A and B are shown apart, each in its own frame.
Chain A
Amino acid sequence: MIDHRPLKIAVASGKGGTGKTMVSTNLAALRSQSGSTLLVDLDVEEPNDFLFIPGELVHVSDQFKMIPDWDQNRCTLCGICSKVCKYHAVIQLGTYIAVFKELCHGCYACSELCPVEALPMHPYKMGTISKKISQNLTFLESRLEIGEEQAVPLIHQTHNLVDKNYADFKVQIFDCPPGTSCPVVAAVKDTDFVILVTEPTPFGLNDLKLAVETMRKLGKPVGVVINRHGIGNDDVEVYCRQQQIPVLAKIPFSRQIAELYSNGSLAYQEVGSLESSLQQIFSYIQNTVKP
């Protein structure tokens, strides 16, 4: 039987700066040599993947969230809206209703519970999705507007767009935001496997543990990539052994990789050992995950 569902791989980490972007872009570019591949940058607050993918970014669509807009003429100042809003995004100030759009979660409660329809929902731009095509690699970038606080709605909408318009890509790689809170949870949702990139240092280990706990709570299978292997100590490897978490690859600490990265180059094209590490990662996932 041919499987119809795409293989969705998330690249995440608790700690920032461990090499998520490096692994995502190199893995996607390498894999695209043997078939069409989709790379999606979901690190919407600080998207960097585009720096490493050749070609021009083309605007695909603006992304909107729905927020209420006060209609002064209809409003009877009954006060229900500010009472129902749990986020303090709708506040009655005397005879004026203030809507703080950056606090609004778009739950529609104020709008739909208003007895006189004085808070109709309106679209408000929260971000942009752009695209690049480089041979077999199709790349999507999701970018949050400056000053917009909530990454989660944009991440959800990007996943929806991928499911709607890019489902024919059998391999989809998602570069996720750092951390362990709601943006990461949103980014790994519906993915089949999570690669956790870490470094062999106390900071790396501390944040890896948090990331592993998060993924376990979400029921996601994980594998660890130890980047900059050779610095620090062995505690990450000991932890992975104890917890029976597969170590998919150890990418040696290399100033050459760091320099290539700093210039926006895809390091695997010049560092043979990185290419084989990435191949190892991909074949592990392909052999163990049934999408």
Chain B
Amino acid sequence: MNEIVILSGKGGTGKTSITATLAMLAGSDAVIADCDVDAANMHLLLKPDFGKGHDFYSGELAVINQDQCTRCGICEEKCRFHAISSPGGQFQVNPIDCEGCGYCEKVCPAHAITMQERFSGNLYISQTKAGSFMVHARLDIGAENSGKLVARVKNEAKSLAVAEKKQWIIVDGSPGIGCPVISSLSGATYVILVTEPTMSGLHDLKRIYAVIKKFRIKAGCIINKYDLNANKTNEIKRFLDEAEILHLADIPYDILFTQAMVEGKTIIEIQSPYKPVFQQIWSKLSEQLNHKKQ
């Protein structure tokens, strides 16, 4: 089983459109995981049926029982996240600031604080139009623990792939280098980096590469919108050489990608010259992973 994670550092480089296209090529022999749980978009292209859904609880929230509270103020004093305040002498927890550490519960002399499980989003296991399974989620608004939800999405995808004997797990990651990204990297066999020839694109590519290097995972790179800036594209290629990242493909800046998105389709489902480019990426990938497919 191969688990491919698509990342970019910088947002908006075309990660999701590219991942969805690879998912179409993988067909039914894959499980797709949308790990950009903050701003999930893959469902707009792969049209999953939202078949099986369940609530996801993670972390805790401090709740103060006003009848038991003696207003001593220890909780407010101990909370490092400034989540407890006492307007008008009544102690209350701001759920947005509470990190669920439980310290207040432990120190409350009147045992007036309890920790309650916190709803943090919905998780779905669906069937896509490509015939594959897809695991995706929706993080509750402003919720914490997106890293944990990512881990949950990945675990579900992995057990599905094992149970259904699928060869591929294709994971769309989130932008950045923080906890959801690190969470999406655990267990990955290969990383595809999607970048663009801008100063920001290259800067962010270098930072995300520094992260995946720590995990010693092999990586390949797709330069999207390569014809926007020839000098920057060359600079990126030099960096790829130095870092020994396989250059997988160049994709031009073409409004067709947006048109496909508006129709809710991937680029290979509309009339476009790009199917061979993606087939080539797919075969390079299979080669890299010693996997004889097609």
Contact = CB atoms under 8 A, between A and B. Distances in A.
Contacts of B115: 86
B38 A179 contact: yes
Interface in A186-215: 201-203, 206-207, 210, 213-214
A180 B38 contact: yes
B179 interface: yes
Nearest to B101: A107
B11 A178 contact: yes
B238 interface: no
B180 to A, nearest CB: 8
A70 B253 CA distance: 53
B142 to A, nearest CB: 5
The range of chain A's interface size is: 35 or more
A35 interface: no
Contacts, number: 180
B3 interface: no
B44 A86 contact: no
Interface residues of B, number: 62
Given A45-B176, A105-B101, A181-B142, A17 B39 contact: no
B255 A231 contact: yes
A165 to B, nearest CB: 20
A46 B174 CA distance: 12
Contact of B141 (A18, A150, A213): A213
B36 to A, nearest CB: 8
Given A17-B175, A21-B200, A207-B41, 10 more contacts: A16-B175, A17-B11, A51-B200, A86-B101, A108-B103, A179-B39, A185-B142, A214-B141, A261-B200, A264-B199
Interface of B: 9-13, 16, 37-39, 41, 44, 59-60, 78, 80-81, 96, 99-103, 106-107, 115, 139, 141-144, 146-147, 174-182, 196-201, 203-204, 207, 210-211, 214, 228-229, 232, 253, 255, 258, 261-262, 264
Interface of A: 14-18, 21, 45-46, 48, 51, 84, 86-87, 105-109, 112-113, 144, 146-151, 177-185, 201-203, 206-207, 210, 213-214, 217-218, 231-233, 255, 258-259, 261-264
* CB-based closest 3 A-B pairs: A17-B12, A16-B11, A107-B101
